[in-house]
Amino acid sequence: MNGSSVLLMGWLSVFAGCQPETDVYSMASQAEALGSEVGAWTPMAPKGFSAYNTNAILLRGTGEVLETAYGYVQRYNPYTDTWRDMSLMCSPGYCQTASLTELPSGKVLAGVVFAGRMGGTPGLMRYEPDTDTWAIVPHGHFRGRSMTVLGSGKVLMAGGSTYEGSQVVSLRSAEVYDPALETWTPVPGSMTTPRAGHSATLLYSGKVLVTGGAAPDGSGFSTAELYEPSTGTWTAAGSLPLAVGAHRAVRLYSGHVLVLSDATGSAETAVALYDPYNERWSAGPTLPLAQPISATLLYSGEVLVMNTAGRTAVYSPSLNAWLPAASATPSTSPGAAVLLHTGQVLRLNGGSPVVERFTR
C-alpha cells in the first residue's frame, strides 16, 4: 500500500467517528513518518510562581487554565497572555494536588493529599470558578484512586491504595459520586485486580477501560478491565503487550486507546493500542523518546507527547507512526500540558516559571 492510500484511510477513520474501523494499525510502519519536525513552540508570559509538583486543567467555561501547587492557585488567560493569583486551596504547603477533574457543572474536583503522618492524608476538594472558592468534600479518599466522569455526569472513583497497619495495600473497591445530589454509591462489583495509579479511560460505549497501575511492591500490571455503568460490574479486558504502572492513556477519535509505557532505563517507550470494537490489544509503534510525561489529544486527532528533556513527538493515527516535533524547554519536573480552545497546547514547566505554547 502506498503513502497516499494510507493517508486516505486515516481521513476515513476520522470521519467515521466512533464506528468500528478496519485495522489501521497494521497499514503503516514507523518508517513512513515524516523526516522533518512538525509544529513550533512560542514562549508565553511566565508564571507568577512555580513548584516541582504542579497540576493544571482547562476551564471550559472561560477558556482559562487553572494551575495548582502546594495550596497556591493561579489562572492563565490564553487570549490576553496574562496570569492572575487566585484564592488559596489551603494554607501554603498544607495540601498538594494529585489530580484535577472538571465536572459537567464547570466546577473542578481535586484529589489532594493533606500534610500528615505516613505521607499525608488523601482527601477531596471542589473549586467554584465563578466565585473563586474552594471547599472540602467531606468524604474519604485514597491515594492513587482514578476519577472518571461518566456519560451520566457522575464520577467513577476506582482502586487506589491505603495502609493496613504499616503495610500499603491496593484496593479493588470503587464508588460513584453524584456531584448534583452530593451522594456516594458503592459499586456492587469489585475490580478484577487491586490496583493504584492506573489510568481509567471513558470509551464511546460508555464503558470505562482501566489499564495498568502499580502493586504495593511498585511493579506494573499488564492486565486491563472494563467497567459497565449500567450494571456496576467489572470484566477482564485482556492483557496489554507490556506491563505499565502510572502511565499515559489517550482515547483517539477512532475510539481506540493509545497507551504509553512508563518503563525506565531505555531511550524509547513501548506503546500499546486497544481496539474496543474487537476487544483486543496490539503493540503500537515504539515512541522514539524516553519517559513521556504528557500525552495530549490535538484537534487534528494526533497526539502530542513530550518528556522532561523537552523532546516531543506527534502520533499520527492515519500513519500509525510518530512524527518528530519541535523541542520544548527542558524541565526538572513533569509540569503540565493543557489543550486550549485555540487548538494549541500550553506547556507549564513545573520547576520554573517557563510557559510555552505548541502550534501544530
Distance CA 209, CA 193 (A): 13
Distance CA 156, CA 171 (A): 14
Helix (H, G, I), strand (E, B) or coil at 6: helix
Mean pLDDT of the region 9-18:
37
Question: For 74-114, what is each residue's pLDDT tens digit?
Answer: 999 999 999 999 999 999 999 999 999 999 999 999 999 99
Helix (H, G, I), strand (E, B) or coil at 180: coil
Distance CA 67, CA 47 (A): 10
With 90 as the cut, is the pLDDT of residue 129 above it?
Answer: yes
pLDDT at 328: 95
Closest listed residue to residue 173, CA positions, set 151, 144, 201: 144
CA distances in angstroms from 97 to 141, 197, 316, listed in the order given = 13, 14, 32
Angle (CA) 24 25 26, round 5°: 95
pLDDT at 265: 75
Burial of 186 (0-12, 13-18, 19+ CB in 10 A): exposed
* Least confidently predicted of 18-22, 191-195, 203-207, 234-238: 18-22
Could you tell me how many helices (H) and strands (E) the chain has, helices first?
1, 30
Distance CA 106, CA 257 (A): 26
Q: Give the H/E segment covering residue 339.
A: strand 336-339
Q: What are phi and psi of 14, to 5 degrees?
A: -65, -45
Distance CA 355, CA 183 (A): 38
Given a contact cutoff of 8 angstroms between Cβ atoms, the answer to whether 312 and 304 are in contact is yes
Angle (CA) 269 270 272, round 5°: 135
pLDDT at 35: 61
Question: What is 114-125 written as a DSSP string?
Answer: ES-STT-EEEEE
pTM comes to 0.88
pLDDT at 266: 83
pLDDT at 216: 76
